[in-house]
Amino acid sequence: MKVVALGGAGDMGSRGVQELAGEEEVESILIADYDEQKARAFASKFGKKCTATKVDANDHSSLVEVIKGHDVAMSAIGPFYKYEQKVAKAAVAAGVNYVSICDDYDAAEALFGLDSDAKKANVTVLTGLGWTPGISNVLARMGAERLDSVDEIAVAWGGSANDSEGYAVILHTIHIFTGFVPSFQNGRLKMVPAGSDREKILFPAPMGEIFVYHLGHPEPVTIPRYIPASTVTLKGGLMEEEMNTAARILSKLHLTSTEERKDRVGKVIKALSPVMFKIGKPETPISALRVDVSGIKAKKRESMTFGCAAHMNDLTGIPLAIGALMLGRGQIEKKGVNAPEGCVDPGIFLDELGKRGIKVFEGAKYEKTLN
């Protein structure tokens, strides 16, 4: 199996590369990154299996050439509201199956416009196989498959601001706290204020309880395409409540209302991150996920809760690597543009997660391990 890792020297992509490098069935990995020097230094850690090259996601023709000849292209090039469609288009043009960790709702929604082109090219485009979206979508599908009908799927995530300090993650956080974001309620997609409807949620240890808000992620956009639930919501928040408040204020002041403004604010936050990310810093930086699925089974109302907790790069990079492996093995066959809940087998995926140390729990007190 030959894999090209786009953005493979970055915070999340490098974790995916590290996971794939230990797999015997992976013959080679090309780490393609805008920072060529960093990519080459990282590739050198894995011997002959990994090589490196420079790639510019804004240069379509060179991007296509870098992807050609591989069995799978996996992408961690963010922020995805800027780059997901560009990179996926290049993979389709190169005729190579594609998986990403796209976590921006607008990028995921726009990507379905590539569906017919991907099918004509006999290519699978799998968007959003990371932490959230990704693990969250697979758990939603697993819960839905246990029920006769689904009423509600509620996805929530929590994270420490300093669990990842990558620039793309900073821009993503700014983006999802800005303006209005999608929420699927009572059978229709509606836009709600980002940072609204604060709720305290219990996550698996060591995170515990934190406040979460409506934020902009793909789950409310993609899950209703595959699962006929009446309500699909996504809420998230940082453990450092001061950071949530700051992000909401920036949005209300319209300081993040355009890409240019997001870039300006993101650069300031990146420069100040050594100081800012110490505010309310938890003893152990961690990220966590919770998925609640409710509906009807045998004419009785049932509900179930799933959750997991680990470092963000593990929660995100490991699923990306699993997605690449599943595509390369032919365990994901559906062509066209897909989200994880539409094409990823929950049993296979969760088994692979468990082998790699990410445990998924079931029950409101997270007492039962699924994998």
Instruction: Indicate whether 220 and 285 sit together in one domain.
Output: yes
Instruction: Indicate whether 144 and 264 sit together in one domain.
Output: yes
Which of 255, 287, 310 corresponds to the end of one domain? 310
Among candidate residues 17, 19, 54, the one with its CA nearest the CA of residue 33: 54
pLDDT at 279: 53
Instruction: Indicate whether 156 and 126 sit together in one domain.
Output: no
pTM of the model: 0.93
Instruction: Indicate whether 94 and 187 sit together in one domain.
Output: no
Tell me which DSSP letter residue 197 carries: S
pLDDT at 242: 84
What is the CB neighbour count within 10 angstroms for residue 25? Answer: 9
pLDDT at 246: 82
Q: For residue 146, what is the domain's CATH number? A: 3.30.360.10
Which of 256, 282, 310 corresponds to the end of one domain? 310
Instruction: Indicate whether 92 and 212 sit together in one domain.
Output: no
pLDDT at 165: 62
**Domain assignment of residue 360, yes or no:** no
**Domain assignment of residue 371, yes or no:** no
Instruction: Indicate whether 169 and 211 sit together in one domain.
Output: yes
Instruction: Indicate whether 110 and 201 sit together in one domain.
Output: no
Query: Which bin fits 221, alpha (ψ -120 to 50), beta or left (φ > 0)?
Result: alpha
Give the structural domain span for 250. 135-310
**Domain assignment of residue 37, yes or no:** yes
**Domain assignment of residue 8, yes or no:** yes
What are the tokens at 229? 């639930």
Which of 286, 310, 334 corresponds to the end of one domain? 310
Q: Taking the chain (371 residues) in consecutive chunks of 10 residues, what is each chunk's mean pLDDT?
A: 97 96 97 97 96 97 97 96 97 98 96 98 98 98 98 96 71 88 97 96 95 97 98 94 82 82 78 57 78 97 97 96 98 98 98 97 93 94
**Domain assignment of residue 317, yes or no:** yes
CA distance 357 to 355: 6
Instruction: Indicate whether 149 and 118 sit together in one domain.
Output: no
Instruction: Indicate whether 153 and 233 sit together in one domain.
Output: yes
Q: For residue 34, what is the domain's CATH number? A: 3.40.50.720
State the total domains in the chain: 2
**Domain assignment of residue 185, yes or no:** yes
